[in-house]
Amino acid sequence: MNPSQAGTSNSTLPPAGSVGLHMRSTSRVANDNIANVLAMAETVREVLPHIPGELIFQDLQRTNSVTVTVNNLLPRPGFPLYEARAAFSHLEVRHYDLLPKKGWEVDLDAVEALANENTVAMAIINPGNPCGNVFTYQHLKKVAETARKLGRWFSSNPI
């Protein structure tokens, strides 16, 4: 399953501290590392609760992002609660600009330049807060194509 299929799964991680999650490990991730992957997946899930836990777990296994700080791409200007929540969960924040001369569209070139192997997701806010913009269908399609190209999720609130 890949990030573009995120909306098609009902799988989630159990609540923090619960028991009974059975995941198959792969040869790339040692059994000793499973606890670290689960802990990081829980942290990511706190920030992206709508992304199925199984996808978060698989992506963290694939990228081996448990020994580094993962990052989130957030809009600038943007809603400060997202940055505060990411900081609380020890996620690095990287800001991409919104383009005021283009109706506050996402600067997709900046998104591509900022994303790296530790990028978990890109957040968009639609309708925009604090700018009040509403992305067109065509722009949202470009955002989704960029996320797919980068192999990352994007999170939208509210839409």
Q: What is the pLDDT of residues 38-79, one digit of tens each?
A: 777 887 777 677 778 887 777 777 666 555 667 889 999 988
For position 125, what pLDDT does the model report?
Answer: 86
How many domains, the chain? 2
86 with 112, same domain: the answer is yes
Task: Work out the angle at residue 83's Cα, subtended by the Cα atoms of residues 21 and 18, and round it to the nearest 5 degrees.
Answer: 15
93 with 131, same domain: the answer is yes
* Residue 127 to residues 83, 85, 133, Cα–Cα distance (Å): 18, 20, 6
Average pLDDT of the residues in 109-126: 89
53 with 114, same domain: the answer is no
- Answer yes or no: pTM beyond 0.75: no
Q: Is the pLDDT of residue 19 over 70?
A: no
Of residues 141 and 52, the one with the higher pLDDT is 141
- Give the range of the structural domain holding residue 14, as residue numbers without chain letter: 3-63
Largest Cα span, the chain: 51
Neighbouring CB atoms inside 10 A of 99's CB total 14
CATH number of domain containing 79: 3.40.640.10
75 with 138, same domain: the answer is yes
53 with 82, same domain: the answer is no
